[in-house]
Structure 1
Amino acid sequence: MNYKGSCHCGAATFSFSLPADIYETEVVSCNCSICSKNGYLMVYPKAADMTVHHSEDAVTEYRWASKKYPHYFCSSCGTSLYVTAPEGMDMRAVNARTIDGVELEKLKLKPMDGRSI
């Protein structure tokens, strides 16, 4: 299934595909500090299945703790968009709240205790 997403102001846009419909996919709701502060609900497309359609300066990178996972935010409106994995890992983490037309109440949330990690 193909999806498009964007920030609030529309400056940062992306598209990706998942092997199944998003409403049949487990969406991770983590309680770690950054996920809680940013309201992340994450889906995990393969890196090769995600394309960004914005300029490099449309997003700002933030790294914390291990500094291995850069989090990307819109440079204009601040929307929390996605996370990339270290080189060699075929994964992206997309904030489901940024996916165009997604009905959040229909998502299958999977709690994750990231606070304890």
Structure 2
Amino acid sequence: MEGEGPDNSAPESGMSANSPTSPTSPTKPKARTYEGACHCGKVQFTMKLSPPVEDGPVTSCNCSICSANGYLMVYPLETNITWVSGFDSMTTYKFGKERIAHSFCSTCGTSMGGKSTNPNFFADNRAVNLPASSPSITTTPKSLKDKTTNTRSFPHCQVRTLKGVDVEALKLRKVNGKAL
């Protein structure tokens, strides 16, 4: 009956599960700030994530690029990412339907993440591996200009680039990206 039991409806705000606050919870979930970098150290960033990556979920997708690069993804708010160095040295790659721009260190090739270039593709869960606008960075690499117009994006971050995270202990959420 109406009015009885828990409310299992989706939140009206459209927040993702990895958003810093949930409209249905009375208190903020705990948050943690991580340091991350590519293999050679040229690209470095900090990222605040709530809930912490260790509390999950972490996305494991079976699409071709995620499988080839061993992606384990989380979806922080762009405002929670600060690019420390190397932002302008990343290069991007799009393939197939070109719905996601994947970013890589131009020196060592480490995949740093990605971001949807289509406002209707993963509208509420956009995949730190891609340059995202940040309060500390005001420029956008030439390859991204006019291709990242959606301001309500949740960039995806490759968990394997985060320092001090035990990937074997993570709670994975399997996604069938092959079907997209």
Residue aligning to 1:16: 47
Shift of 1:50: 1.0
CA shift at 1:8, angstroms?
A: 0.5
Aligned ranges for residues 1-117 of structure 1 at < 5 Å?
A: 1-86=32-117, 87-117=150-180
Superposed displacement of residue 55, structure 1: 3.4
1:18 Cα deviation from its structure 2 partner? 1.1
CA distance in 2, matches of 1:67, 1:32: 14
Q: How many residues align?
A: 117
Alpha-carbon separation, structure 1, partners of 2:96 and 2:73: 19
Larger radius of gyration, structure 1 or 2?
2
* Aligned residue number for residue 120 of structure 2: none
CA RMSD of aligned residues (A): 1.3
Are the aligned partners of 1:6 and 1:99 in contact in 2 as well (CA < 8 Å)?
yes
Q: Classify the secondary structure of the residue corresponding to 1:105.
A: helix
Structure 1 unaligned blocks of 5 or more: none
Q: String of CA shifts for 1:71-112, please: whole Å, max 9, x gaps.
A: 111111101111123423320100001101110111101110
Deviation, 1:53, is 1.8
**Alpha-carbon distance in 1 for matches of 2:52, 2:80:** 14
Taking structure 2 as the reference length, the TM-score comes to: 0.61
Secondary structure of the residue that 1:34 maps to in structure 2? helix
**Higher strand proportion (structure 1 or 2):** 1
Distance 1:12 1:2 in 2: 17
Greater RCO (Cα-Cα under 8 Å, separation 6 or more): 1
Q: Do 1:48 and 1:90's aligned partners in 2 also have CA atoms closer than 8 Å?
A: no
**Which structure is higher in helix share?**
1
